Structure 1
Amino acid sequence: MKKTLFSLFLLLSVAPMWAQTDTLVASELTDTKQHDGNEVWARVPDAVQMAWGSTDVRYAKMNVPRGRMAKTLRLDAWAGERVMAQAVVWTRHDIVSPRVEATALTCGREVIDAKAVNAGFVGYVMTDELNHNGKSNCGHRPNKADFDSSMVADMVYGPHIDRIPRCTTRPVWVNVWVPAITRAGIYKGKIVLTGDKGEKAEVALEVKVGSRQLPAPKDWAFDLDLWQNPYAVARVMNVKLWSREHFDAMLPVMKMLADAGQKSITASIMHHPWNGQTEDPFGSMIQRTLTVDGQWKYDYTVFDRWVEFMTREVGITGTIDCYTMIPWALQFDYYDQASNTVKFVNARPQDAAYRDYWLPFLRDFARHLRQRGWFERAAISMDERQLEDMQSAIAVIREADADFHITLAGNYHKEIEHELADLSVPYGSPLDRSIIAERRSRGQSTTCYICCTESFPNTFTFSDPAEGAFIPIHAMVQGYDGLLRWAYNSWTADPMRDTRFRSWPAGDTYIVYPGGRSSMRFDRLVEGIQCCEKVRLLRAELQAKGNRRALKRIDEALKVFGWGGLEHTQMPTGERISRLQRVLNQ
């Protein structure tokens, strides 16, 4: 009963943004772009139309869909793999209270249960565009009017919405997670649309399951690191920070991340590590108190609850990345018991005051981490900091405990790279493979990261959806162990409707939506990571068999994902993915 009441509470708590969970269309912003007129829509048959489109296309809301469409679609999959598809519905007449449902997929007596086939309407959100200077896309955007805005399909909603208005298009996103125990064969079923006035349309879906099996996401080798923001969930879902309701609201959001193979937990160990740049600034999960007698005391309650939640309930058991000893604003807070006020230490990493603040904390933190059995998982993490600052901070860390793991997302510095358990370098500054190999021989990981800088590839809400799949494959081809993308769910003020932000292009700050809703971008990212795992497994299998011809086919398909391939081909991103998939599924 309590669980039911809380679910109702969550439903009502988001009323300021979307009155009820099924009023998607009514709450969408207005699309002011030029679109197909009545003369175009008049040529559409009277009955509701439904057909399979392409996952590479964001279909316009007010236009009749164009391009290759079909009533039957066949997907190739390994057992344990998730495969995606996009159907499109368009209509000359209002459809009230439409619902989309998936049937079970059958192959003789074998069945893929309908619960493994998720079909949901795609929501339209407001996006903008790249910077006009043709250079970095980072920087403040105080005036939204300076950037051309439009409505794009991105958010994967639920199976029921309020309506599909006349002369509009509504995509349907389909995600099939093939059970690991599924036997090889061709499984057939349907995706069915119904309306409250008897409207009905359907498309046929076939999934050809091969003989190979993809491991569970927790066992994937690809090192995925998307930074989580628990503070955003509390604000958007209108629940008290760190309450049980807060953790319940976070569970479906963070579970999607675990199911994508996420390896790291993002923990903030100081107040506003990134100077409050997001809509929901990160607070400190560890409280510092300077007692009346001049002693430091540390409260790890929130930190412990967050790590326990992400580990035990969500299932992310990798690194605990603790940010940061070098924030953007070199200002460090603590509660002063004598004055009953919050005070701040302003110090550079080279200053004695910096060492006096951090050294006792790090020593106590190391003790606490060992007591909880987390020391080997934890890392003191920094991002985009200068060499001199890093050297000074590392000296303090090593003085506190020589065995602390240290990570950096930033430029490569030969002077300190041996100190870094994980180094994530910018996409546009690729490391020499010999450096990556040497680090790997020392048990150190090396990844690359994408941020607002890159025009291509990226996961903005106006980016080509296939770029989400391209990014991890590119990282693998370049020799990296994985990928970092700074924001998983740092939601905007109105995240279900408007992905634009006061800084950076739309969609830069988040890749999933509130309430455990995915996106076309996120699902395509998962597709790319699965491709990396399939390449890894196939290479091992084919090398053991001595099948050089098959290995060469894989290598040829991967060439267009590396820096050399980018320079020498104009092949569309989606076609690169499709060609690779065909090779991997043979």
Structure 2
Amino acid sequence: MKKIYCLIYILFTLPLLSQEKEGITHSGQLTGNPPFPIENYSELDNPKSTSETLWNKKNRTFVSWANTDVRYNKEIPAPIALSQETLHLSAWKGEQLNAQLIISAHRKSLELNFEISDLSSSQSKIESKNITGGFVRYVMTDELNKDGKGACGPRNHKEFDSTLVADPIDHLNDRLSIAKNTTRPVWVTINVPRDITKGKYTGEIKIRDGDRILKKLGLEIEVLDRVLPKSENWKFHLDLWQNPYAAARYYRTDLWSDEHFAAMKQDLQHYVNAGGKSITASIMNRPWNGQTYDPFQSMVTWRKTIDNKWSFDFTVFDKWVEFMMDLGVKKQINCYSMVPWRLAFEYFDEASNSMKTIETKPGEKAYSEMWGAMLKAFATHLKKKGWFGKTYISMDERPMDVMLETIKLIKSADKNFKISFAGSFHKELLERIDDYCLALGENYPQEILGKRQNRGKISTFYTSCAHPRPNSFTFSPPAETAWYGWYAAATGLDGYLRWAYASWPLEPLLDSRFSTWAAGDTYLVYPGGRTSIRFQKLLEGIQAYEKIKLLRREFIESGEKEDLKKLDTLLNGFASSEIIEKDVAQSIKKANIQLNSF
């Protein structure tokens, strides 16, 4: 979600897509790659200079396990003090674990590749097919606004410090050339089978330069006798807004073609694996007035017939919803927006054989006639499809008086329509909103939160460019996205919303900066089915939330008051929306150790 700004940085409208031989970023920088790379690409030049003196102090290539809460600089050698040859982790059955190793190339370039073995115990093994590795790639980032209070507003890249930062995780390339005097992390994910025997599992990762082994790193996992359910059964309400229009542009496919849907599967699978609950559907054109590089278009065709009646075609809406449900996102459909940021509504007029626009607002006759007709037709269609009960008419960051007027119209069309809203706290809306999401920093009174949950209503929180920390910018400390799950558990919330899952800027693999928000604000995953450090840490926090839910229920049902008290004490440290940069990663690390000790 964003605030409305009168100025839109001029780079946003430059004809950048006309570049065919070489890609170009929002800042006008040539990338040295073909436009929109998918498998192989070269990172942008590093704005930070490399200190030959610093590298000359080292005398060999360095390989070690590293910290998943650190984004390691490309131009700086890994500290020798980091040296760790065996990594020890613990996990529930069914949990996904993250690990990071690091290689610093001294004096000569390397042709990096790696091989991951099975992890074996005396009774069973975690097969290597359950363990994946990917090179951590570097993408251009920037910084908070100069006052440090947020990251909203038009951006001229020359006014912000720009650096390369570690974030994309590239699973598509099993080999990567790295230049001398550079550092390269590798991200490792371990999916612990749900049906495995508890115990200690050991194996190794071989890191090679071509055919030459640089190092063997040991990996040891203690599998505990507890089971994390499948992500489709997780309770955490994860709502990350999808943008199929960005995918069509990047993959150069026709909208809603077979090729378009096929290209999106790999990117959206991360959302499914994280237990994503909501399908984002745009039911009118440009509900956010083009706040993303690829504006959302209407999935519903609006038409006024020659005899001056409203007609609606839901074909595209149906295709999108069915596609998402087939992937596994089935809980709800959030439809945006009856109250767009610009109150203008496009439709095809049969009488003039042209597109027209109505400028009207809630409370006006034209608005009521248009949306009343649409909602009634929509309700009838949804009931035929069997989707009415999981469909929400959705708005975000609209004033209370506008919301009340809009809700009145929705309920007049069908009293059973559900409504979702993301924005400020208004007690007058609490009974009317079925899915209410507050900005981080605002709170539900505990008695109200309990009543909402008892009635099956959803209560979540969101972060946006207005929050300097915690956040999920590409320059944000990785642990901050893991913190979201702990905060939701500590405050009794149902989950988390982020306005952009994959609303990519022009060249997202190379430059995460955008013309109006801080770098990385518009997306969490990368083209080609690549995940990111930010997203993997978000998943860590969601898994912690699920563990806490299961443990709390167990302790209550079994009467284990002492363990319940320990769990509550553990969560007390995460109940405030204020976090301290130095402490967040360490706090989560300690909390995870205690959580796994129950």
TM-score, normalised to structure 1's length? 0.94
SS at match of 2:264: helix
1:274 aligns with 2:292: no
Matches within 5 A, 1:160-559: 160-196=174-210, 198-312=212-326, 314-559=327-572
Q: Which residue of 2 aligns with 1:147?
A: 160
Q: CA deviation at 1:134?
A: 3.3
SS at match of 2:428: coil
SS at match of 1:187: strand
Q: CA deviation at 1:199?
A: 4.7
Which amino acid letter does the alignment assign opposite residue 278 of structure 1? T
Which amino acid letter does the alignment assign opposite residue 16 of structure 1? P
Aligned Cα RMSD in Å? 1.8
Percent identical residues? 42
Q: CA deviation at 1:136?
A: 3.6
SS at match of 1:460: coil
2-structure distance, mates of 1:497, 1:448: 30
1-structure distance, mates of 2:114, 2:312: 52
1:581 aligns with 2:592: yes
Where in structure 1 are there 5+ consecutive unaligned residues?
Answer: 1-11
2-structure distance, mates of 1:17, 1:85: 32
Which amino acid letter does the alignment assign opposite residue 21 of structure 1? E
Where in structure 2 are there 5+ consecutive unaligned residues?
Answer: 1-20, 24-32
* Of 8, 12, 21, the match for 2:39: 21
Q: Using a 3 Å threshold, how does the CA distance of structure 1 residues 547 and 571 change in structure 2: closer, same or farther?
A: farther
Q: Using a 3 Å threshold, how does the CA distance of structure 1 residues 301 and 561 change in structure 2: closer, same or farther?
A: same
Give the conservation status (yes or no) of the 8 Å contact 1:495–1:513: yes
Larger mean Cα displacement after TM superposition, 380-389 or 95-104: 95-104
Q: CA deviation at 1:94?
A: 4.0
Q: CA deviation at 1:201?
A: 2.4
Give the conservation status (yes or no) of the 8 Å contact 1:51–1:69: yes
Q: Using a 3 Å threshold, how does the CA distance of structure 1 residues 392 and 119 change in structure 2: closer, same or farther?
A: same
Give the conservation status (yes or no) of the 8 Å contact 2:285–2:298: yes
Q: CA deviation at 1:439?
A: 1.3
Q: Using a 3 Å threshold, how does the CA distance of structure 1 residues 571 and 197 change in structure 2: closer, same or farther?
A: closer
**Structure 1 residue runs of 4 or more that deviate by more than 3 Å after TM superposition:** 12-15, 17-20, 93-97
SS at match of 1:412: coil
Which amino acid letter does the alignment assign opposite residue 328 of structure 2? G
Give the conservation status (yes or no) of the 8 Å contact 1:223–1:262: yes
Give the conservation status (yes or no) of the 8 Å contact 2:349–2:355: yes
Larger mean Cα displacement after TM superposition, 538-547 or 254-263: 538-547
Alignment coverage as a number of residue pairs: 566
Q: CA deviation at 1:13?
A: 13
Q: CA deviation at 1:113?
A: 1.2
1-structure distance, mates of 2:35, 2:216: 32
2-structure distance, mates of 1:64, 1:135: 32
Q: CA deviation at 1:352?
A: 0.6
Q: CA deviation at 1:554?
A: 2.0
2-structure distance, mates of 1:375, 1:196: 57
Which amino acid letter does the alignment assign opposite residue 554 of structure 2? E
TM-score, normalised to structure 2's length? 0.92
1-structure distance, mates of 2:55, 2:157: 32
Q: Which residue of 1 aligns with 2:104?
A: 90
Which amino acid letter does the alignment assign opposite residue 199 of structure 2? G
Give the conservation status (yes or no) of the 8 Å contact 1:94–1:164: no
Once the two structures are superposed, residues 477-530 of structure 1 have per-residue CA deviations (whole angstroms, 9 ceiling, x without a partner) of 122111111111000111001000111111110011011100000000000000
Which amino acid letter does the alignment assign opposite residue 302 of structure 1? V
1-structure distance, mates of 2:226, 2:556: 16
Give the conservation status (yes or no) of the 8 Å contact 1:239–1:245: yes
1-structure distance, mates of 2:22, 2:323: 23
SS at match of 1:563: coil
1-structure distance, mates of 2:40, 2:208: 15
Once the two structures are superposed, residues 5-32 of structure 1 have per-residue CA deviations (whole angstroms, 9 ceiling, x without a partner) of xxxxxxx999624656244xxx211222
Give the conservation status (yes or no) of the 8 Å contact 1:44–1:91: no
2-structure distance, mates of 1:366, 1:536: 35
Q: Using a 3 Å threshold, how does the CA distance of structure 1 residues 488 and 13 change in structure 2: closer, same or farther?
A: farther
Once the two structures are superposed, residues 351-383 of structure 1 have per-residue CA deviations (whole angstroms, 9 ceiling, x without a partner) of 111011100110000000000000001010000
Which amino acid letter does the alignment assign opposite residue 192 of structure 2? V
Q: Using a 3 Å threshold, how does the CA distance of structure 1 residues 45 and 494 change in structure 2: closer, same or farther?
A: same
2-structure distance, mates of 1:368, 1:242: 20
Q: Using a 3 Å threshold, how does the CA distance of structure 1 residues 18 and 98 change in structure 2: closer, same or farther?
A: farther
1:56 aligns with 2:74: no
1-structure distance, mates of 2:567, 2:428: 37
Matches within 5 A, 1:74-153: 74-141=88-155, 143-153=156-166
SS at match of 1:554: helix
1-structure distance, mates of 2:427, 2:38: 54
* Of 42, 47, 57, the match for 1:32: 47
